[in-house]
Structure 1
């Protein structure tokens, strides 16, 4: 036997107890550690893959009058049939803000189908953070078996514009209530318990119980309503045909007293425009009805795929947070996005209606028939629909130049956002987008506008014909299913291969550079040597990019270019630096790259080529394509902000404007000079800057005075109508006396005879703003009264904007307070109104103080998940350019920690922008003052 050691009994017992305790502690710590590493399924924001819904049977009754507690409610019940994919003893189904009925102490009932036996319920509860109804079972659900879960519930029909909510309006002095829906992205669970993820597609059988003087609508065609009586009240019960298999976020139902106009009986697809009776009586729905059919036919041809439903209902709602929502078969709109009144609405209103209808109809296939698997690929839905909406509206209105306007409306604007270090890639990792507020953050300009820009670029270099052929096979393979972006790349590659198009790399390799990393390149061309380089373009060169990219911020860039008016050529830049001898120039030549801004990148040149381009603009500006005249201005101003070129070079790109008559260069210059106003309208730069712009715009003002026969005619061309607005807006704001007299005179005539408004519809917004800015209380009160009585939403919007133009601080403060009263300013309009007020130099500090002092109220009352909170923070801080304002922002971030919701990313972008503004102003104020002073010295 070997050597041992001896301990007494007491010590042994103590050691034994200690050992047991140590083991217990280890087990407990391990359990805690395991729990932290593997949370309970109901603590995860993503549904497990154990269950798959097949169909829902939902009955809902909205009460359109308040109850004894002054609440509007709805009640109903729902059954969902699902298949068990993997054995489980747990059912997780989304439910949020619903009061569920208890059955023998449980929140649901479960039964087996087709011979399956349902386990008994063990425990149920509502998990609030993750918005689940949790159902624990006594035994396992069997894989391959089908079950049915039944719930009964009551919910509040709130006015918060999400889920099943109410919209209100006044007609004939009487308040009317509409029960309507907005499910995207995660609010179907507020209407009934459901598997509320886009990949969880199912068939929906809807039934609505509603008052007899109302109509019920849903995604599918309705059966004949039947009369029923509940607790002595006579009601209608409307059931609907089963939907196609679809995602929960596309579900919609409306109860209202609206009427409709529609296509004649026997049409292959029933098209109906629903709205308030008076709106339709005034003809406000006629344009939408006229254009819906042709746009629908265009997309059927473009996709080479028939519209998959029997009907296309489109309804204009008085209260709606977004512009519109692509619910399959029942598209919901803001009134301004669907209703148009000739003679009262502007050409901009008309374009908005055509573009939004086109956007939503594009979704009927791309998004609804084929849906992204998860929200991280939202850009695939929204970027695509944004791009092709310009194709659809161009087909409906071929004289408007919509294919050009995408550059102004989408591409130029989003470049400013994507040039920030706090931008984000188009496509995120699934695991990074989990919570509802993360999802809501994605509904931004990157998703919509950059998504459109890169898809337009792709369509250009593979050709639109090949692009649409790839879409056809993509839709055919994945119809009624879900996809990821790689599925689209694969089908576009098949179309490219079939067409024999040669690309330097596959579609996937090229496009992944554009969607999986944020930002875009600055392409610099040295025309002396033919050297071409690229680098990640940042508006603030001192900002730190802490988001790694596997592609090292290097892109595969399709460069289109011309030399001294010669034929267009293309070159693929595959590396950080390359040389193309064809791009080196002779003594009198100039080079222009990124023709018609088809590529999503900015361009810089050597100083000699910049001088030649400026000389060409000065001598024969029409030799340069109109979109590229706008591009030269926009690139130069943004390169100057990034310290790549001098600010004076950027300002020199505006000198030719006194000869320019086209809309796009003027609009681009106006936007970029707006930045100078934001930075300098409180400084000594303001006077000389105003004088310079007044000098440049006066010839344009006189030009439109002449071609409109002293403002008595409307210009024929769509973009000329826009540029007439530019001319008057800039002339009045810079003090052209003839302009101010003109607008105030028109407004006074209207005040003298309120029933007769002779102001041209296109000019109303500008005229109202100019007259209210030049006037006082009387003008403001008159406009407020006309706003409250406006029967056309687009007219109300113009007045709502113009009211923010007053120079009276007390009126602006009162207007801000109105934003907290939905009886005065609708919740859907509160964000816009506050931002409008902040765009006024006098209103900006008032709006900032208002937002800070009322943030908790705004966040709680208006919904932390609202898409507009990011725009609110962005809008009220655009002027920030001082250390003091930056510190205020940091304090604000600290004060509202935990109450940021969908505005978190926007706040970081605003902080970055403010730092950049501070640096830019410090470096450029004296140079800018000197340049404007020199340019206007001859006027003194």
Structure 2
């Protein structure tokens, strides 16, 4: 075992006492320590911190950094362009150079500056700290892709915290003829001496919407990045330079040559896309009682008085808006300019509004009342933009409707100041076109997510009937829902609260909500945020009412219900009633449970929805129309036809009911029902004018229109027009349909008047020229076509040129149509802005449609390369040349074009291509199912 250890008892006791004392002392020390800690907490030593992350990578999307905020620009542009070549020694140069200094605020430490540039050659880039002028060493990269980024990498860094910097760039660019950015345009000016030849003239002008300011100078080219602009333009003598604000000019010498320098006042804070520049040898007239309000145009047009009507009505419309919106027009000047070649009908540049000539100029001698109305409508639209879009701007393009829908809707109020009452035509011009696009799965909501809209192509595709017309229709519906008075009060709050700022849809909603107790968010979200619109179905035997998404091509759609205010009348009670449908249904509404009455819903089409009924109610409405059509409100007589035909196209209604709804037109003389009927019967013509069904359709239409033609025959034969504006439209309808479908006295009238025209006596009223020229060319020969072509080349009045250009597309001669198509690619024959509409005119002609499609398909690469960046109507081109498509081979050709685009990574008109493919699929299915029924019905009516 182990050895033992022993100590004495005394020692052991002493050790025990010491141990206990020690333990007690330690315990006491711990307690005292904890008490002291409680009284005086020790400081926690700081944790090591990581240095801040300074962004150096490009954004994951195509948007600029949100922490670089531009405040002001100083831009100097020097185009080396002459307005005219006066001698053989002058070299014309389509070239410009310039410099820009943008002052921006940096809110976050960064080593990178991002802004936009496109198709410019940068010759110098400098970054300096504002105030100290300290230069920051940097290098830059231009990204030649969809981003158009100018990336500037700094050796040091931007400080953040609101520090200001100046970015100075010098650059050079080419003046292309592509109608985009700062571009050059040619036109002809009549010589003052009749013995001398007409003279070619040049001008430079701009079209910067939506993303082409970057083609003129490096900039933060997004609508929310507003800034103040100080513009200087150095230009040749004999040229007037115009921009957004007032300018002052003086001459100077540069490299031994005389130049003029025009310096413009500072603009208000504004978006880049609203800038405008024009350099031209134009004349102007001033608007009476409007300080600094001028209209510019070609010298010949001003001298002929073609700008006088615009001058007469501009101030009236402007005053109307100032009173309606409760805000004065905010700029010191308002110039409007008529351009010979401009890619869109008009552009609302702040303080310098640009128009196609036919949208601003009116010739009393050759202009129709429709031309006059068009000028008033375009001016009203662009002036409305001075508040909606310019003063208050959408934050990003995904909510473009906040600009365009308001301008469209308010223009119907604006034209009233110019003595045009067009509000009843809203259903034809806005609602029905929007219905067509929005009944496709490939449509889009009014408000999309910002990340869904990135590229220039995606932005351009939003300039469509959904954004303009559906947006306007939804605003009209909202105004009726909350009352017009409450709506306008809310709009005034919106404009006043957000002037000089950017907004999103919720900002508008909050302002409107202040003027009503109604649940606007619940009502409006369904119309703004989801695609499509509903069809309301009413079964009068049971009163069951339901809704679902209306789709032209049967599909899944979505199951989200809309909030729908249903307005209605009954045959035994003329009072208007309203009910709100929130559910998808069906719900049983006792008020719709009827026996001997009919019910009519969506009175005056104030709601953006279609209505379907049980067959019994449809038949009661049919009988009412034939017995006493005036019991049905005028607008609804047109909308019943449109609803029925489109319900039939969507396989929701027997096609014979829709066709039977046109029978009452034999006694109808009002424009709205006739126009609605003709537009829908035109779809039958498009589907069947290449088949045996067309003969019966032609005979029916000839029988139907004879009474209408005779109603206006006395006016037509006397070269006069009725007093009422809508009757004037219907007179044109009567001539168009009667001549197109072989009514002998119509064709005789047209050819006789045209022969007088050829012999030097043009007694055709301007209202009727378009259709009479067309009818005569259709019935005529090559000599007639050549005569009209010569007239087209000689006239300088844009509206008259448009009538002649349309008539040339009406010939049945294939070789003439093919030659005309080739002319569209020659700007000396058909100016660029008219290329799309001319091809579409030819495609409207049954003889020209396959030629136009083959032409577009064969030239697609050239067209998109030459026109894709500057003209936003490629979608319109696709739509126009494919309206007749209803065959499998045509569908396959469309899909092949789509595959070719995907293969070449092209995004031109991608949404429009999807839409025409979807429409063609719907047409194929509908024709296969309905051809025999349609043929039998028309034969039965002869």
Give the superposition deviation at 1:867: 1.1
Cα distance in 2, alignment partners of residues 303 and 533 from structure 1:
39
1:786-843 superposed Cα distances (whole Å, 9 cap, x missing partner): 1111211111111111111100000000011111111111111111111111111111
On the 8 A contact 1:116/1:145 being kept in 2, the answer is no
1:169 aligns with 2:169: no
Q: How does 1:310-389 map to 2 (within 5 A)?
A: 310-389=332-411
Q: 1:903 aligns with which of 876, 900, 909?
A: 909
Give the alignment of 1:902-921 within 5 angstroms. 902-921=908-927
Do the aligned residues in 1 keep the contact of 2:287 with 2:295 (CA within 8 Å)? Answer: no
Match of 2:107 among 59, 82, 85: 85
Deviations 1:408-434 (A, max 9, x none): 111111101110111111111100111
Name the counterpart of 2:940.
934
Going from structure 1 to structure 2, the CA distance change for 1:394 and 1:696 (only over 3 Å counts) comes to: same
Secondary structure of 2:378's aligned partner: helix
CA shift at 1:375, angstroms? 0.4
3-state SS, counterpart of residue 908 of structure 2: helix
Shift in Å at residue 313 of structure 1? 0.6
**1:61 shift after superposition:** 1.4
- Tell me: CA distance 1:161–1:709, structure 2 relative to 1, closer, same or farther (3 Å): closer
Query: Which of the numbers 556, 565, 590 marks the counterpart of 2:563?
Result: 556
Residues matched between the structures, number? 872
Once the two structures are overlaid, the 10-residue window that deviates more, 736-745 or 275-284, is 275-284
Mapping of residues 699-738 of structure 1, within 5 Å: 699-706=707-714, 708=715, 710-738=717-745
> 2 CA distance for matches of 1:293 and 1:44?
44
TM-aligned CA deviation for residue 140 of structure 1: 1.2
> Matches of 2:200 and 2:98 in 1, distance apart?
25
2:468 alignment partner, one of 426, 433, 448: 448
Gap change, CA 1:123 and 1:252, over 3 Å in 2: closer
Partner of 1:192: 217
Distance in 2 (CA, whole Å) between partners of 1:91 and 1:773 is 61
Q: Distance in 2 between matches of 1:594 and 1:764?
A: 37
Question: In structure 1, which of residues 679, 688, 691 is the aligned counterpart of residue 687 of structure 2?
Answer: 679
Q: Which moved more, 1:744-753 or 1:650-659?
A: 744-753
Aligned counterpart, 1:529: 542
Structure 2 partner of 1:412: 432
Q: Identify which range, 202-211 or 525-534, moves more after superposition.
A: 525-534
Q: Counterpart in 2 of 1:613?
A: 621
Given candidates 525, 531, 539, the residue that maps to 1:512 is 525
* 658 and 573 in structure 1: CA distance in 2 versus 1, 3 angstrom threshold: same
- What's the offset of the Cα at 1:515? 1.2
Partner Cα distance (1:131, 1:573) in 2: 48
> Taking structure 2 as the reference length, what is the TM-score of the superposition?
0.91
Q: Deviations over 1:536-585 (max 9, x none)?
A: 001112x354xxx6xx3310001111111511111111111223212222
Structure 1 position 777 matched with structure 2 position 767? no
Within 2, Cα distance between the matches of 1:716 and 1:515? 40
Secondary structure of residue in 1 paired with 2:792: helix
Give deviations 1:234-255, integer Å, cap 9, x for gaps. 1211111100000000000111
Check conservation: 2:359, 2:378, Cα contact below 8 A: yes
CA shift at 1:343, angstroms?
A: 3.1
Does the 8 Å CA contact 1:71/1:156 hold for their aligned counterparts?
Answer: no
Q: Specify the alignment match of 1:835 in structure 2.
A: 840
Find out whether 1:181 has 2:181 as its counterpart. no
What is the 5 A alignment of 1:401-440?
A: 401-440=421-460
Equivalent residue number for residue 663 of structure 1:
671
- Determine if contact 1:160/1:863 at 8 Å carries over to the other structure: no
Q: Which moved more, 1:889-898 or 1:406-415?
A: 889-898
1:247 and 2:268 matched: no
- Between the aligned partners of 1:709 and 1:455, the Cα distance in structure 2 is 39
**How far, CA to CA, are the matches of 1:269 and 1:116 in structure 2?**
41
Structure 1 position 901, deviation (Å): 2.8
- The alpha carbon displacement at 1:872 in A equals 1.0
Match of 2:127 in 1: 110
Show structure 2 runs of 5+ residues with no match: 1-54, 191-197
Relative to 1, partners in 2 of residues 1:790 and 1:606: Cα closer, same or farther, differing over 3 Å? Answer: same
- Is the contact made by 1:269 and 1:309 (CA closer than 8 Å) also made in structure 2? no
CA deviation profile, 1:233-279 (whole Å, cap 9, x unmatched):
21211111100000000000111111111135xx4643211111111
Aligned residue number for residue 306 of structure 2: 284
Q: TM-score, normalised by structure 1?
A: 0.91
Deviation at 1:676, TM superposition (A): 0.4
Deviation (angstroms), 1:232: 2.2
| Pairing 1:439-518 to 2, within 5 Å after superposition | 439-497=459-517, 503=518, 506-518=519-531
What's the CA shift for 1:896? 3.1
Task: Look up the SS of the partner of 2:575 in the other structure.
Answer: coil
Cα separation, 1, equivalents of 2:59 and 2:147: 7
What's the secondary structure of 2:703's corresponding residue?
A: helix
Alpha-carbon shift at residue 40 of structure 1 (Å)? 3.1
Report the Cα distance in structure 2 between the residues aligned to 1:744 and 1:899, rounded to whole angstroms. 50
- Give RMSD over aligned pairs: 1.7
How far apart are the structure 2 equivalents of 1:249 and 1:742?
Answer: 50
> How far apart, CA to CA, are the structure 2 residues paired with 1:839 and 1:268?
44
Query: Is the 2:126–2:136 Cα contact (8 Å) retained in structure 1?
Result: no
Aligned equivalent of 1:7: none
Residues 306, 363 of structure 2: 8 Å contact kept? yes
Change (3 A) 1:778 1:122: closer
Aligned to 1:219: 244
- Residue 50 of structure 1 deviates from its aligned partner by 2.2
Pairwise CA distance, 1:633:
0.4
Cα displacement string for residues 146-180 of structure 1 (whole angstroms, at most 9, x for unaligned residues): 11111111111111111101121001211111110
- Are 1:160 and 2:178 counterparts? yes
Aligned residues of 2:864 and 2:908 also touching (Cα < 8 A): no
How many angstroms does 1:70 deviate by?
Answer: 7.1
- Superposition deviation, residue 865 in structure 1: 6.1
**Structure 2 match to 1:631:** 639
Task: State the secondary structure of the residue aligned to 1:146.
Answer: strand
Contact 2:722/2:728 (8 A) holds in 1: yes
State the shift of 1:129 in Å: 3.8
Q: Using the alignment, how far apart are the partners of 1:334 and 1:154 within structure 2?
A: 28
Aligned to 1:31: none
- What's the offset of the Cα at 1:693? 0.6
Partner of 1:764: 769
Equivalent residue, structure 2, for 1:75:
97
Indicate the residue corresponding to 2:262 in structure 1.
238
Alpha-carbon distance, 1:68 to partner:
10
Separation of aligned partners in 1, 2:531 and 2:679: 24
Q: 1:231 Cα deviation (Å)?
A: 2.1
In structure 1, C-alpha distance between the alignment counterparts of 2:629 and 2:808, rounded to whole Å: 38
Q: Which residue in the other structure is 2:35 paired with?
A: none
**TM-fit CA distance, 1:622:** 1.3
Alignment match, 1:29: none
**Cα–Cα, structure 1 residues 59 and 122, in superposed 2: closer, same or farther, change >3 Å?**
closer
Distance in structure 2 (CA, Å) of the matches to 1:881 and 1:709: 37
Distance 1:567 1:343 in 2: 47
**Alpha-carbon deviation of 1:703?**
0.5
Structure 1 counterpart SS, 2:516? helix
User: How far apart are 1:614 and its partner, in Å?
Assistant: 0.4
**2:241 is the counterpart of 1:204:** no
CA contact (8 A) 1:818 1:824 kept: yes
CA distance in 2: counterparts of 1:900 and 1:465, whole angstroms:
47
C-alpha distance in structure 1 between counterparts of 2:704 and 2:147, whole Å: 57
Please list the CA deviations of residues 596-646 of structure 1 after superposition, one character each: whole Å capped at 9, or x if unmatched: 111000001111111111001001111111110000100000001111111
Deviations 1:865-917 (A, max 9, x none): 63111111111111111111111112222233336433101111111111111
Larger Rg: 2
Query: 1:581 and 2:581 equivalent?
Result: no
Distance in 2 between residues matched to 1:342 and 1:82, nearest whole Å: 51
Match of 1:20? none
Instruction: Say if 2:574 is the partner of 1:569.
Output: no
Which whole-Å deviations, capped at 9, do the CAs of 1:198-250 have from their partners, x for residues lacking one? 00000000111122212111111112x11111222212111111000000000
Structure 1 stretch displaced more, 577-586 or 248-257: 577-586
Counterpart-to-counterpart distance in 2, 1:112 and 1:693: 75
Q: Deviations over 1:73-106 (max 9, x none)?
A: 11111111111111111111111000111xxxxx
